């Protein structure tokens, strides 16, 4: 048996969960190939099962992930599927959002779960996750990975209850906020060039190619506010509205 884990991760939370899930399959002698959807390649219908995972943006899966599922995930014939999301809140509403899309492509969703992780978006009115809560979340996510893999392999169908009305409202809010998200970096971020080492990791790592770096950093208007550039800068050179902030560590 061989599976594929296809994922998108902004600052590393989803990637962390994906590696835990992959390790749990490996402990049971089941091989899983891990595929980052930023490779922008189509995947083939050559696996026994599929795992799809992404962070939640404004309570639903980001358009970047939805578009990839729609355009690049293969059509299959009743292949079993595990669907995971990560978010700072207790529940995200991405599962209900894409379940019909996956079912139309021939996937049978056996396990669908949203997993709380430390908040990476604590700018403006949003607050960072407390240190105690971070430790609690990171400890619990290991149990979540075990439960997901064991439930999936036993064919114990688990579909997390997600409100239809909240899902539809969140999709609408996300759509309305898209122009704000697209301009997030251009409007809010600046760079402290006294400490910037011009490594260009921000440019190379941006999932939507929103950053261009020549003598200075320039932002386009297609940001998805994933926070990767500000959280992954090795010298914390980015400023939000003129102020440095503490990068996420856990």
Identify whether 246 is part of a domain: no
Q: What is the CATH number of the domain that holds 56?
A: 3.40.50.360
- Mean pLDDT of successive 10-residue stretches along the chain, which has 250 residues: 95 95 97 92 91 94 94 95 92 88 96 92 81 87 95 93 89 93 94 94 95 92 94 94 84
Q: Do 149 and 33 fall within a single domain?
A: yes
User: What is the pLDDT, as a whole number, of residue 39?
Assistant: 87
Identify whether 155 is part of a domain: yes
Identify whether 245 is part of a domain: no
Q: Which of 127, 147, 169 is the last residue of a domain?
A: 169
User: What is the pLDDT, as a whole number, of residue 131?
Assistant: 87
What range does the domain containing 138 cover?
2-169
Identify whether 249 is part of a domain: no
pTM: 0.93
User: What is the pLDDT, as a whole number, of residue 223?
Assistant: 96
Identify whether 174 is part of a domain: no
User: What is the pLDDT, as a whole number, of residue 126?
Assistant: 79
User: What is the pLDDT, as a whole number, of residue 4?
Assistant: 97
Identify whether 107 is part of a domain: yes
Q: Do 124 and 210 fall within a single domain?
A: no
Q: Do 191 and 135 fall within a single domain?
A: no
Q: Measured between alpha carbons, how far is 250 from 232 in angstroms, rounded to an integer?
A: 13
Q: What is the CATH number of the domain that holds 217?
A: 3.30.70.20
Identify whether 68 is part of a domain: yes
Number of domains in the chain: 2
Which DSSP string do the residues of the chain spell out, in sequence order? -EEEEEE--SSSHHHHHHHHHHHHHHHTT-EEEEEEGGG-----S--SEEEEEEE-BTTB--HHHHHHHHHHSPP-SSEEEEEEEEESSS---HHHHHHHHHHHTTEEEEEEEEEE---S--STT--PPPHHHHHHHHHHHHHHHHHHHHHHHHT--EE----HHHHHHHHHHHHHHHHHHHTHHHHHEEE-TTT-----HHHHH-TT--EEESSSEEE-S------HHHHH-TT--EEETTB--PPP--
């Amino acid at each position: 048996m061989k599976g594929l884990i296809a994922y998108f991760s902004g600052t590393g939370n989803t990637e962390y969960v994906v590696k835990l899930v992959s390790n749990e399959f490996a402990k049971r002698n089941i091989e899983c190939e891990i595929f980052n959807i930023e490779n922008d390649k189509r995947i083939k219908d050559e696996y026994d099962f599929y795992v799809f995972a992404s962070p939640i943006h404004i309570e639903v899966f980001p358009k970047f992930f939805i578009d990839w599922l729609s355009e690049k995930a293969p059509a299959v014939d009743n292949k079993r599927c595990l669907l995971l999301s990560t978010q700072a809140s207790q529940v995200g509403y991405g599962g209900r959002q894409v379940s019909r899309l996956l079912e139309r492509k021939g996937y049978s969703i056996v396990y669908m779960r949203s997993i709380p992780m430390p908040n990476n978006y604590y700018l403006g009115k949003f607050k960072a996750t407390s240190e105690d809560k971070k430790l609690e979340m990171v400890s619990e996510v290991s149990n979540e990975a075990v439960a997901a893999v064991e439930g999936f392999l036993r064919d114990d169908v688990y579909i997390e209850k997600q409100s239809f009305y909240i899902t539809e409202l969140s999709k609408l809010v996300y759509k309305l906020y898209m122009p704000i998200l697209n301009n997030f970096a251009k409007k809010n971020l600046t760079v402290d060039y006294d400490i910037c080492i011009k490594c260009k990791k921000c440019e190379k790592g941006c999932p939507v190619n929103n950053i261009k770096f020549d003598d200075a950093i320039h932002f386009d208007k297609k940001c998805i506010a994933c926070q990767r550039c500000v959280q992954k800068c090795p010298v914390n050179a980015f400023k939000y509205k003129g102020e440095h902030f503490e990068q996420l560590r856990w």
